[in-house]
Chains A and B, each alone.
Chain A
Amino acid sequence: MNFKTVFIVFRKEMLEMLRDKRTIFTTFILPLILYPLLFVGFGSIMSRQEQVLEERGAQIALVDSVQTEVSQSIIESIGENKGFELIPYTKEAKTLLDEGELQAIVSITDSTNTSGLSVYKVRVSFDSSKERNLLVYNKIKDSVNQSKESNIASYLETKAIDPGIMELIQVEQVDTASSQKIVGSFLGMFLPYLMIMMLVAGAAMVAGDLVAGEKERHTLETLLVSSAGRNELVIGKYLTVITVAMVNVVVNLFSMSFSMQYLLGSAAELGDFTSIPIWGFLILLAAMIPLATFFAALLLSLSTFSRNIKEAGSYQQPVMIISMLLGMISFLPSVEINTLLSLVPVVNIALLFRAVLTNEFQWLHVFLTIGSTLILDVIAIWATIKLFNTESVLFRTEDDTSLKNVRKEKRNLFNSFNGTVIYAILLALLYYLGQYLQKGDLLNGLIQTQVLIILLPPLLILRIFKLKPREVCRIKAPKLKEVALVPYIAISASVIVILIMQVINMLFPFPEKYLEQMSSMFEMTDNIWIQLAVIALLPGICEEVLFRGFLIRFYEGYGKKAAVIISALLFAAFHLDPFRLLPTFLLGLLLGYLTLRSGGILNSMLSHFLNNAFALVISTFATSAWLEYIIKDSDTIQWWLIFPAAIIFVVSIVLFHKVTSTKGEEQWESSDT
Chain B
Amino acid sequence: MIEVLELEKEFPKKDGTRFKAVDRVSFEAQDGEIVCLLGVNGAGKTTTMRLLSTVFKPTYGTAKIQGYDIVTQPAKVRENLGFLSGDTGLYNRLRVHEFITYFGRLNQVPDAQIKSRMDEMAELLDMKDFIDRKIEFLSSGMKQKVSIVRSIIHDPPVMIFDEPTSGLDILTARNIISFIRDCKEKGKCVLFSTHIMREAERLADRIVLIHRGQVLATGTLEEMRAETNQVDLDDIFVHYVNKSNTEEELQAHEF
List A residues at the B interface (Cβ < 8 Å): 5, 8-9, 12, 15-16, 19-20, 214, 217-219, 221-229, 391-392, 394-395, 399, 409, 411-412, 557
Contacts and interface: CB of A to CB of B under 8 A. Distances in A.
Contacts of A5: 105-106, 108
A53 to B, nearest CB: 53
Interface in B12-43: 12, 14-16
A225 B51 CA distance: 11
Contacts of B246: none
Interface of B: 11-12, 14-16, 50, 53-57, 75, 78-79, 81, 83, 85, 87-94, 98, 102-103, 105-108, 134, 150, 154
A557 to B, nearest CB: 7
B55 A224 contact: yes
Contacts of B93: 15-16, 19-20
A5 B105 CA distance: 8
A225 B14 contact: no
A395 B87 CA distance: 14
Contact of B83 (A219, A225, A391, A412): A225
A15 B105 CA distance: 15
Contact of A221 (B12, B75, B88, B108): B88
Given A227-B154, A409-B15, A12 B94 contact: yes
Contacts of B11: 392
Q: Interface on chain B toward A: helix, strand, loop, or mixed SS? A: loop
Given A229-B75, A391-B56, A222 B14 contact: no
Contacts of B83: 221-222, 225
22 contacts: A8-B105, A8-B106, A15-B98, A16-B91, A16-B94, A214-B89, A217-B91, A217-B92, A218-B88, A218-B89, A219-B91, A222-B83, A222-B103, A225-B54, A225-B83, A226-B78, A226-B103, A227-B75, A227-B79, A227-B106, A227-B107, A227-B108
Most chain A beta-carbon neighbours within 10 Å: one of B53, B85, B91: B91
Given A12-B91, A217-B90, A219-B88, 8 more contacts: A5-B105, A8-B102, A218-B89, A219-B89, A219-B90, A225-B53, A227-B79, A395-B55
A226 B106 contact: yes
Contacts of A399: 14
Contacts of A218: 87-89
A150 to B, nearest CB: 76
Nearest to A229: B75
A409 B16 CA distance: 13
B150 A222 contact: yes
Contact of B89 (A15, A19, A20, A217): A217
Contacts of A229: 75
Contacts of B79: 227
Contacts of A223: 106
Given A12-B102, A226-B107, A227-B154, A394 B55 contact: yes
A391 B55 contact: yes
Given A222-B150, A225-B53, A391-B57, A412 B14 contact: yes
Contacts of A391: 55-57
Contacts of A225: 53-55, 78, 81, 83
Nearest to A228: B106
A352 B154 CA distance: 50
A219 B89 CA distance: 5
A221 B90 contact: no
B135 to A, nearest CB: 11
Contacts of B134: 19
A169 B11 CA distance: 88
Contacts of A557: 16
B106 to A, nearest CB: 4
Nearest to B79: A227
Contacts of A16: 91, 93-94
Contacts of B15: 409, 411-412
A12 B108 CA distance: 15
Most chain B beta-carbon neighbours within 10 Å: one of A12, A229, A395, A557: A12
For the complex of A and B, list the 5 residue pairs with the smallest distance between their C-beta atoms, beginning with the closest.
A218-B89, A19-B93, A217-B89, A225-B83, A219-B89
